[in-house]
Chains A and B, each alone.
Chain A
């Protein structure tokens, strides 16, 4: 193949080598080289999130197997308060949406809206966490703590693990707000924020599975 063959109409032949830029002129920075750093960072963090979801799937499997093993203790239908779960769900969904608004503000490099939307994300996430802690405390006070039965052990492990992720996410959120304030919208800071927003949205997806399979199905049984 001579140099005359390297014309625009031959570009599709290079798709197998690197398809990052040819199909989407806005998505990647270049068409022939490796994918942009933003795409690689997002991909790497996406792999971490998927492994995290696989860990959660093991907890879901444990819960599904043990959900009937109440050892004569309280059952899911006697314990769960659907109204509280609806409030938690609303908080987390609104928090996820506020995080999306923060992504838009970051792409516009608007410091005030970035801080405001991140603050809203954090406040709603903290409200979710407060509701969950209140629920756990009331369960323990009613003698339905994690040591009561295998069902409650699996329940506290699964939902508590999600709560721990939210707690870690809130700490991460605080450092992101500080970094945007102190360092501005530098490229590496924006990449960190991309990872945070993926993390936060993925936690909302796991919560969908929790409120559907654990709470709604449990409250009916």
Chain B
């Protein structure tokens, strides 16, 4: 009985993840979507697929016995976002301020 329920969870996860994957590969190649919107669509689809994997494959849920896992995940996401967006922000700023030197180097 629980085996059937377990298998159903993985099957639902597989189906949804396949849909998301096909959608993002389609979004990357199509010209139907407004060009600058495509990266946004790909990122949104990737985030949705990660959520599907977390719930249906890793079984990270909002159940009471999962509170610690969810809190750890939230902290991990916070650190990952700080590392990624912090790096991008700082490096973009540095790039902006270094522009004249880069011009000189390419001219030389």
- Does A pair with B? yes
Residues of A bordering B, CB below 8 Å: 19-24, 27-28, 35, 39, 42-43, 46-47, 50-51, 53-54, 57-58, 60-62, 64-65, 82, 86, 89-90, 93, 96-97, 100-101, 103-104, 107-108, 198, 201-202, 204-205, 208-209, 211-213, 216-217, 219-220
CB closest residue in chain B, given A61: B87
Size category of the B interface is: 35 or more
Within 8 Å of chain A (Cβ to Cβ): is B83? Answer: yes
Q: How far is the CB of A116 from chain B (nearest CB, A)?
A: 14
Q: Count the A-B residue pairs with Cβ separation under 8 angstroms: how many?
A: 129
Are B80 and A57 in contact, with the CB atoms below 8 A?
yes
Are A43 and B14 in contact, with the CB atoms below 8 A?
no
With a cutoff of 8 Å between Cβ atoms, the chain A residues found around residue B43 in the complex are 212-213
Residues of B bordering A, CB below 8 Å: 2-3, 6-7, 9-10, 13-14, 17-18, 21, 24-25, 27-29, 38-39, 42-43, 45-46, 49-50, 53-54, 57-58, 63-65, 67-69, 72-73, 75-76, 79-81, 83-84, 86-88, 91
Select which of B13, B68, B79 is within 8 A of A100 by beta carbon: B13
CB closest residue in chain A, given B82: A57
With a cutoff of 8 Å between Cβ atoms, the chain B residues found around residue A24 in the complex are 63-65
CB closest residue in chain A, given B18: A93
Q: A211-B24, A216-B42, A220-B28 are in contact. List 4 more A-B contacts (CB 8 A).
A: A50-B75, A100-B6, A101-B7, A104-B7
With a cutoff of 8 Å between Cβ atoms, the chain A residues found around residue B38 in the complex are 220
Q: Please judge, given known A-B contacts A46-B69, A50-B76, A208-B53, whether A216 and B14 are in contact too, CB under 8 Å.
A: no
Are A64 and B24 in contact, with the CB atoms below 8 A?
no
Are A65 and B88 in contact, with the CB atoms below 8 A?
yes
CB closest residue in chain B, given A26: B2
3 closest Cβ contacts across the A-B interface?
Answer: A23-B64, A50-B76, A100-B10
CB closest residue in chain B, given A68: B95
Are B28 and A54 in contact, with the CB atoms below 8 A?
no
With a cutoff of 8 Å between Cβ atoms, the chain B residues found around residue A65 in the complex are 87-88, 91
Once the chains are docked, how many angstroms separate the CA of A35 from the CA of B69?
13
With a cutoff of 8 Å between Cβ atoms, the chain B residues found around residue A20 in the complex are 64-65
Interchain Cβ contacts under 8 Å between A and B, 9 examples: A21-B65, A39-B65, A57-B81, A58-B87, A61-B88, A82-B29, A97-B14, A100-B10, A216-B24
